[in-house]
Structure 1
Amino acid sequence: MKQRIRIWLRNFFGFSRTETNGFIILIFLMIIVLAMPFASRLLYTQYNKNLQSDEDKIQLEALLAELENSVEINTARHKEETYHVFDLNKSNVHHLINAGFPEYLAERIVKYREKVKPFESKSELLKIYGMDSSFYEKIYPFIQLTIIKAKPEQKFTTDAKKKIVKEENEQTKNAFEKVKITRLDINKADSTQLQKIYGIGPAFSKRITKYRDYLGGFHSLDQLEEVYGLKEENLDSLKKHVFIKDKINLKQLKVNRIDADSLVQHPYISYKEANLIINYRNQHGEFKSNKDLLSIKVLDSAWVKKVSPYLAFD
């Protein structure tokens, strides 16, 4: 039968054997495509029926009934809530919970009263984190407040506080001065040695040594003003106990041998200035001294004077 159909198709359409086989396959594919909508509807109907079985409906109704009962019970409990009288400045956590507060709010009220200050008015209760205004309105009629006055010796005027701080600073300063500190070479001292100086703690001592290494050494004590965070009093104390012994040992950049990326590693030199120096060198030859830098019109004399100690022209 199959062979007869193939022969008829070949004779009728003039197909070759390969074309005849392809045509038959194409017919089968078209039949499958046309049948797919009917098959999908049948499957969907069957699946939908399974989802909406009588057992599912019974379980769903049971769950809904249970949920409604739970809501009714919670509503009834909410209506049965009662509050009791309490003293805002005297009641402990247990008393506050009995008065109607949640445990977390009761603990925060007691902590605020002990760590910050006693309550001076009922409305201060609203400052407690988590205190809802609607709950405050419900609890308000049950609040009693015993005013607790602060002890007189705990109150200080602004001038008195300043005096106490000043005396403490003087005592600390005197303690540092009693310790004999030999003057230090700022380019050789480590962070531990610098910490012995009054006003220079671990953070400042690390910043000073880090910036010193970044620069390549200090050539002037005025450069200490560039260290981030050092205030005038810190600088005065520091300059009294340090000195610069030898400026020759500064780390210098060979301006005639390095590229722009190497130049910008120094904190005084930006990419703009580094590129200007390299471009001028490529066009006019090597620099012989810092005076040649002044030939670059964009660079001002103050900057050249500042950066010159860190440049070598050999």
Structure 2
Amino acid sequence: MKSHFQFSNQQRNGIFLLLFIIIVIQCVYMFVDFGNENNYSNNSHIEELRKEIDSLRAAEIENNKPKIYPFNPNYITDYKGYTLGMSNEEIDRLHQFRSNKQWVNSAKDFQKVTQVSDSLLSIISPYFKFPEWVANPKSKTSFTNYNSNVIKSFVQKQDLNKASETSLKKVYGIGEKLAGRIVQYRNRLTGGFHSMVELSEVYGLTPVVIDNVKKEFAVKSPREIKIYNLNTATRDELVLIKYIDYEVANNIIEERTLREGFNSLEELTKVEDFPINKYEIIKLYLHL
């Protein structure tokens, strides 16, 4: 072991020099910050990345929020009311009000019934969607004729084949669209309506509205149509009638043969595959 620790002066000086260099390097490593310059240069880039991540996170949170679509407040369910921020008591007040067959027709009525706060009402009321007849009610003068208790005679009624859309809109239950459909259907018929029964062919007209039209209008200048004798008409003549095809025409002739002639037009409803829902239109073209 003694031979390992015997050094010459030159070797001893080399060892001390090596120790000195090691100590200097350790001090430099401990007290000198070599990364400051890089950190300063990267700080702005890191801040931009952090802002971008925050904006993406905020957008994702916003997208995950439940969206509110226009709705009729009369049909708010328990779950819907909960998502809107209503309390159980407020929801129960609305359900109690609706159970009496009453309707909320404005945001003011909704607040009066439910007693929601002004702040909540201001948030949800922009999404309220009421029926068209509530949002844009027609003036009372528009229905003067309908509300009249006087039953008009045939002479007093207007001719349906000459009525304008404006005059039709005065009938209760007929708006701009229905008035336009009546006029369009009349124009497709060469010569106009033959009978008031043909109003049932206009899409959207309910029996109640048709009755209202009949109170104010009548067909005073009916178009000419060809009428066939039910007991003598051939198959080729029957198929010329609206809603009767060759199959139905053959069935009518077979039924006529079995009965040795029809005694009334109502017996057509007994014919196989006969379009019973179009009976009133079909019988306009037949007689006995």
Same fold at TM > 0.5? no
TM-score (norm 1): 0.36
TM-score (norm 2): 0.38
